Amino acid sequence: MAQALAPKGGKGPIAMAIGDDCSEIVPDPGHSILLTTDTMVEDVHFRLSYFTPYILGRKLASVNLSDIAAMGGSPLGALLNLEVPPGLSDPANPFWPQFIKGLSEQLARYNAFLIGGDTVKTTCNRLALTLSLLGQVKQGRAIYRHGAKPGDLIYCSGPLGESACGQKVLDSKRFFLPLPVKRRLVKRHLDPEPRLALGQALANVGVSAMIDISDGIATDLGHIAKSSGVRANILASALPIPRSVRIFAQRLRHHRPLDFVLFGGEDYELVWTVPARNEKKMQKALLPILKRPAIRIGYMTEGEGVWLLEAGSKREITFMGYEH
């Protein structure tokens, strides 16, 4: 199905796309290859009751593009593996062209293309999707999780918590919310935007570690802290709480808006650390992309774990993140 519907032939660095034993990609000289993959299973990671095929294809692309962004890289080509349940096994089902359109248009926005894959039938009643995305980055320029040092400052690219609220809205129809709030939360869950231009800019200004926020900042910053062997300190007062998250949290009992910000997953913003000496250069480089300063939310010290500093108290929140 992927083979029938995906664009054929070479483009740019793609020497051979769909139609041979392997795809062939010629990376730019002096670049290394980045490779990432994500699997999404129906009723575990998404429901077809609220994903249109187009938006589902788009999100599958976005979550993988976000991993390339988090290394400071540029995407090139993707392999799509489909496990097709009996209910979707007719190749003429309009589901497929819409899904492939969403996927390939989102890839193309960032100059990446569908270059291969494998389509198999499953006797299981759930659609399963795997995308593996190949990108490139200048040798020596990739930003890892393990480079943070004590004294580095912690930054994040945008508002957090909206995607987790959006998922709760989608899973239960019983929330009465102003329509613009509802729309915004749901859109942030269904259609996150990978921060590629931002990640690429950050790779050029001396940041020390970076990750994308897929499992909540408490968990993802926990990966940076653990890999780097340092402690991350988040200032609760510095974390922006989106208005939509505040409004949504009011509708629930026993939920602080801050909990969505800290523990909600799938925002696909970037969080990174930067030595203080590179802070000004960084802000200057990001302004044309973000149109506002990036948000400083804390700092690294000797130690381990992720700690939340709030009104004179502190508590550890390492890996207290989102579970799919």
The stretch near a second copy (CB under 8 A) out of 40-48, 87-95, 248-256, 271-279 is 40-48
| Residue at 9: amino acid letter | G
123 binds a second copy (CB under 8 A): yes
Q: Whole-angstrom Cα distance, residue 80 to residue 103?
A: 10
Of residues 133 through 162, those in contact with a second copy by CB under 8 A are 134-135, 137, 139, 142, 144-146
Closer to a second copy by CB, 146 or 281: give it. 146
Q: CA 283 from chain center: how many Å?
A: 22
The whole-angstrom separation of Cα 169 and Cα 173 is: 6
Per-residue contact flags (x/-) with a second copy for residues 271 to 290, judged by CB under 8 A: --------------------
Enumerate the β-bridge partners of residue 113.
77
Q: What are phi and psi of 106, to 5 degrees?
A: -70, -40
Find, among 216, 215, 198, the residue nearest to 207 by Cα: 198
Question: Nearer to a second copy by C-beta: 130 or 244?
Answer: 130
49, 92, 120, 315: which one contacts a second copy (CB under 8 A)?
A: 120
In this chain, which stretch among 132-140, 258-266, 293-301, 309-317 interacts with a second copy, using CB under 8 A? 132-140
Do the Cβ atoms of 38 and 63 come closer than 8 Å?
Answer: yes
In angstroms, the CA 144 to CA 71 distance is 6
For position 24 contacting a second copy by CB under 8 A, the verdict is yes
Q: How far is CA 217 from CA 22, 168, 196, 317, in A?
A: 37, 18, 19, 10
CA dist., res. 138 & res. 203, Å (int): 9
12 near a second copy (CB under 8 A): no
Least CB distance to a second copy at residue 52 (A) = 22
What is the DSSP-derived secondary structure letter of residue 125?
A: S
Question: Counting contacts by CB under 8 A, is residue 98 touching a second copy?
Answer: no
Q: Is residue 94 classed as helix, strand or coil in its secondary structure?
A: coil
Joined together, the tokens standing for residue 189 give 């869950």
Q: How far is the CB of 319 from a second copy (least distance, A)?
A: 14
C-beta separation of 43 from 124 below 8 A? no
Which range binds a second copy by CB under 8 A, 41-49, 89-97, 151-159, 186-194?
41-49
Give the one residue of 5, 55, 65, 71 binding a second copy; rule: CB under 8 A. 71
Residue 222 CB, nearest approach to a second copy (Å): 13
Given the rule CB under 8 A, which of 93-101, 106-114, 119-127, 253-261 is the region that contacts a second copy? 119-127
* Residue with tokens 């429901």, as numbered in its chain: 47
**25 touches a second copy (CB under 8 A):** yes
User: 46 or 299, CB closer to a second copy?
Assistant: 46
Contacts for 246 with CB less than 8 Å, ≥ 6 apart? 257
Binding site for a second copy (CB under 8 A): 15-16, 19-27, 29, 32-41, 43-45, 67-68, 70-71, 73, 77, 79, 81-83, 115-118, 120-126, 128, 130, 132, 134-135, 137, 139, 142, 144-146, 210-212, 227, 324
